[in-house]
Amino acid sequence: MAIRIKEVAVQRLGPLPDFSMQFGDLNLIYGRNEAGKTYLVEFILRSVFREAREWSLRPAMGQGKVMLSGVQAEPTSFSADSRKKLEDYWAKGETGLPANMAALLVVKGAELALVKDQPGGISRAILKSYLSRDVVLDEILGRISLTLQKAQVVDGKVEGDQRGEIKARRECMERREHIEKLFREIEERYSGGRRRELELRRDELNAQAIRQDQAKRHLAYKLNQEIGRLEQQWRRLPEGELQRLRSGFDAYQRDLGRLAQREEQQRSLGKGSADYEWLVQAIGVWESRQLDRATRPGWALLVLGGILLAGGLMAAVANFNLLAVALILAGAALTAFHLRRLYQQLRLAPEADELRRLSEDFETRFGEKLLSLAGLKHREAALREPHFKAKALREECEKDRGSVEQQAAELAGQLRVLVGKDLPSDAWGNVVDRLEAAAKALNGKINELRVNLASLGLSEDTYLAAGPEAEFDPLQLRSIGAQLEDTDRELRDIQTGLDNLKQSVCNETGGDISTSWPDVLEQLRLHRQEVVDEYKSLTAQVLAEIAVNVVLVDVRTHEDEKIRSGLRATPVLASLEKITGRYASLEMDGDQLVVSDPYGAYPLPSLSTGAQEQVLLAVRMGFASMLAGGQPLFLILDDAFQHSDWLRRERLVEEVVRLAKDGWQVTYLTMDEHLKGLFQTAGKRNFGDAFAFAEI
């Protein structure tokens, strides 16, 4: 059943406030320029066709509907807001009509060209779209670059110009190889090898350094504890107390020595002093009892007297009478004197006894005989000064003895406090020496420990109570530090290489150099996958397009034959000859349409504008008639003939009338008075009431 426009009704459509029209077989809409004809055509296009967006339409305006008959059993309403368009019914009904029939059925704004911006207004592609169901093949072929159209696959390798996709594929392959090289370098420098060995070595050295540091801090703790313990001992031996003890003991020793010396002097002088006192008493006794009188005559006088008497007798015998007398007288006198003295001694026996005792004591004391009071006084005078010295010494000794005893009591008390028990005085010196030595040793040990602790250079808050089994060894720690420096230096050299490698990776991935290595590796891995995917895609694209091109080249040969057959189809050639009155055949030369008459062949772009419009209208009507398979459709012409001369106009109007008589519904919109007259005359004469006219 023929598809026709039954009615159009619209409001507020640009310059058209209201418009309504019942359509017949031939329809004429007349209006001056800017009266709204183009608005009306665009409204019909937007309402009926889905492909209306292919035209450059003005913004939608107005409200209304377009009623079509022949789409369904009952008239079907279309509007700009309709979700279903005419193409949807064609596809559902499988009429075989192409989806771009709107371009054939509607000529908008005197644009008879089927392809804009194409010389002659037509191209091989548009012809193929009307004449073949395989138009997509041409689109595919058009998307294949000239480089791939000339390329081929030989022994699994793509051969062709190093341009376009082939160049991109080669560059992608080079990028992939570069990425693989980066991964190999990363594996060598980052993941293993010398760097890994150095990192393990550094970790081990760091662990040793940590153990040594812990041992060092534990040693500091032990030294600090030992210092505290020794200080407690040292505080029990306070330096001031020991100094006072030492001073007191030295003073005690000094005073004790002085006392001993004085006592010794006093003892040495003491015997003389006793003798002196005895002499004083003896002199007193002698003088008070006049012991001079009780002095015994010496036996020498008696012996001498006897000798003289004996000598006198011997001289008498020898007849030395005078001598004998003298000797006898002298001997007698001496003997008499002795006897007188002896008498007196006997009378003074008590004094004699006292004198005897004094003499015996004197001899005992002084080892010599007491001869007289003078001897006593002489001896007393000799002993007087030592006596008084001994007396002074005795007093001093008494005083020193009290001081020494007080010092001894104080020393005993101090030592009792320090050692916790009483000690004999003869042990005091050794104890004081031991205490001083102990204090000195403690002080020295404390100072030594403090120096050792200070040499560790640690603050007390870093001491470690529990340490490792290893002992702190400064030499080992220095050795570890030196090894760490060497290891770090080598690692820095490797790191410099890694940084350069990282920069190369970031240059490849576009990443940030500050990104961590794991993230950089992940980015590179993802980038490699992208490049691999891109390479696979490019390879697949290149191989596919080369293969498709081979197929399409063959298919195009057959398509070209279809186009030639379509252009030679009877409906097309009959329409061409009737409308142009001159041209009888059509051919495609490359992408240009060529028309022929008995005198020659002419590319469509070389014809005048009017002639081009006639040819294009003929091709349009011929294709529409051929594609519809004899089923009439509607045709809308918006001033399609305004560029034709008057003679051609008459022929074009006649062709339109012929189409309408054959069942086509034709609607012509014009602002031309001449065309208006031609259509009115032909319409009334040929269609009567089936001719509809509206003026806007």
DSSP 587-630: EEETTEEEEEETTEEEEGGGS-HHHHHHHHHHHHHHHHHHHTTT
Token reading at 113: 């060209």
Look-up of token digits 């070595």: 201
Tokens representing residue 117 in the block: 């911006």
Q: pLDDT (tens digit, 9 = 90+) per residue, 438-449?
A: 878 888 888 888
Question: Is residue 255 one of the residues assigned to a domain?
Answer: no
Tell which of 479, 508, 537 closes a domain.
508
For residues 289 and 344, the answer to whether their CB atoms sit within 8 Å is: no
Ramachandran category for residue 193: left, alpha or beta (phi over 0 → left; psi -120 to 50 → alpha): left
Asked if 535 and 176 count as a contact pair (C-beta separation under 8 A), the reply is: yes
Q: What is the pLDDT of residue 115?
A: 47
- Determine the Cα–Cα distance for residues 301 and 339; give it in Å rounded to an integer: 10
Per-residue pLDDT, 677: 95
End-to-end Cα spacing for the chain: 31
Residue 311 falls inside a structural domain: yes
Cα separation, 408 vs 95, whole angstroms: 146
- Which of 386, 419, 452 terminates a domain? The answer is 419
Query: Which of 485, 508, 531 is a domain's end point?
Result: 508
Q: Has residue 513 been placed in a domain?
A: no
pLDDT at residue 31, rounded to an integer: 92
Per-residue CA distances from 536 to 84, 143, 145, 151, 172 (Å): 42, 19, 18, 18, 9
Q: Are residues 654 and 589 in the same domain?
A: no
Q: Residue 399: how many CB atoms within 10 A of its CB?
A: 12
Residues 274, 415 within the same domain: yes
Supply the Cα-derived Rg of the chain in whole angstroms. 80
Q: What is the mean pLDDT of residues 255-270?
A: 70
Half-sphere exposure (Cβ direction) of 167: Cα atoms closer than 13 Å: 6
8 A C-beta contact, residue 499 and residue 506: no
Is 579 found in the same domain as 501? no
Asked if residue 312 and residue 411 are part of one domain, the reply reads yes
What are the distances in angstroms from CA 455 to CA 220, 423, 484, 574?
A: 10, 43, 22, 118
The whole-angstrom separation of Cα 545 and Cα 210 is 66
Tokens describing residue 645: 């001369």
Residue length, the chain? 696
| DSSP letter assigned to residue 399 | H
- Residues 677-689 have a mean pLDDT of 95
What does the pLDDT look like over 296-355, one tens digit per residue?
Answer: 555 666 677 778 778 878 887 888 778 777 878 887 887 777 777 666 665 555 666 777
* Residues 277-297 pLDDT 10s: 777 787 877 777 666 655 555
In a domain, 157, yes or no: yes
Number of domains, the chain: 4
Give the type of residue at 492. R
What pLDDT score does 52 carry? Answer: 60
- Give pLDDT tens digits for 588-618: 887 788 999 989 999 888 888 767 777 877 7
Q: Residue 126: its pLDDT value, please?
A: 56
569: phi then psi, degrees, rounded to nearest 5:
-60, 145
Looking up tokens 């700009």, which residue turns up? 80
* One domain, residues 285 and 363: yes
- Model confidence at 210: pLDDT above 60: yes
Quick one: 501 and 531 in the same domain?
Answer: no
Reported as a pLDDT band with limits 50, 70 and 90, residue 167 is confident
Token digits of residue 685: 């004469």
Q: Is the pLDDT of residue 431 over 70?
A: yes
My answer on whether 296 and 358 are in the same domain is: yes
Q: Are 411 and 245 in contact (CB under 8 A)?
A: yes
From residue 271, how far is each of 246, 274, 569, 573 by CA, in Å?
37, 5, 182, 185
- Asked if 339 and 402 sit in the same domain, the reply is yes
DSSP structure class, residue 515: S
Tell me which of 50-59, 118-127, 280-289, 477-486 is least confident: 118-127
The reply to whether 90 falls in a domain is: yes
Residue 629: predicted pLDDT: 66
Residue 351 to residue 287: CA distance in whole angstroms: 11
CATH number of the structural domain spanning residue 2: 3.40.50.300
pLDDT of residue 270: 56
Q: CA 451 to CA 346: how far, in whole Å? A: 98
Tokens of 195: 């760097």
Q: Are residues 274 and 413 in the same domain?
A: yes
DSSP string computed for 84-124: --HHHHHHHHT----TTHHHHHEE-TT---SSTTSGGG--H
Q: Which own/partner pairs from 487-491 qualify as long-range (CB within 8 Å, at least 24 positions apart)?
A: 487/198, 487/201, 487/202, 487/205, 488/202, 490/194, 490/198, 491/195, 491/198, 491/199, 491/202
- Integer CA distances (angstroms), 508 to 43, 98, 170, 522, 653, in order: 55, 50, 17, 13, 69
Specify whether 176 is located in the same domain as 90. Answer: no
| Residue 297: per-residue pLDDT | 54
Helix axes 517-567, 164-186, angle to 10 degrees: 160
| Residue 11 structural domain | 1-97+628-696
Contact 67, 77 (CB under 8 A): yes
Spatial separation of the C-alpha atoms in residues 279 and 377, rounded to whole Å: 7
The stretch 386-405 carries a mean pLDDT of 74
What is the b/e burial string over 29-50, where b = at least 16 CB atoms within 10 angstroms of the residue's CB? bbbeeebbbbbbbbbbbbbbbb
Question: 591: number of CA atoms within 13 Å, CB side?
Answer: 9
- Which pLDDT score is estimated for 346? 59
How high is the mean pLDDT of the chain? 79
Q: Specify whether the CB–CB gap between 2 and 70 falls below 8 A.
A: yes
Residue 426: count of CB within 10 angstroms of its CB = 7
Asked if residue 79 lies in contact with residue 47, where contact means CB atoms within 8 angstroms, the answer is: yes
Cα(666)–Cα(678) distance, integer angstroms:
14
Taking the C-alpha atoms of residue 534 and residue 340, their distance in angstroms, rounded to an integer, is 175
Q: Which two tokens stand for residue 662?
A: 């054959």
Provide CB contacts within 8 A for 618, sequence distance 6+: 572, 575, 576, 578, 579, 580, 655
**Tens digits of per-residue pLDDT, 88-144?**
886 554 444 554 666 778 887 555 555 455 544 455 555 655 554 444 455 566 677
Task: Please count the other Cβ atoms lying within 10 Å of the Cβ belonging to residue 589.
Answer: 11
Got the DSSP string for 246-307? HHHHHHHHHHHHHHHHHHHHHHHHHHHHHHHHHHHHHHHHHHHHTTTTTPPPPHHHHHHHHH
275 and 402 fall within a common domain: yes
Burial class (CB in 10 A: 0-12, 13-18, 19+), 396: middle
The answer as to whether 647 is a domain residue is: yes
The region that residue 94 occupies, defined by phi over 0 for left and psi between -120 and 50 for alpha, beta otherwise, is left
Q: Would you say residue 43 has pLDDT above 80?
A: yes
Residue 621 belongs to some domain of the structure = no
* 340 in the same domain as 466: no
In a domain, 84, yes or no: yes
- CA–CA separation, 143 and 549 (whole Å): 10
pLDDT tens digit sequence for 533-589: 888 888 887 887 777 777 767 766 776 777 778 788 887 888 888 778 889 898 888
Q: Tell me, what's the pLDDT at 95?
A: 44
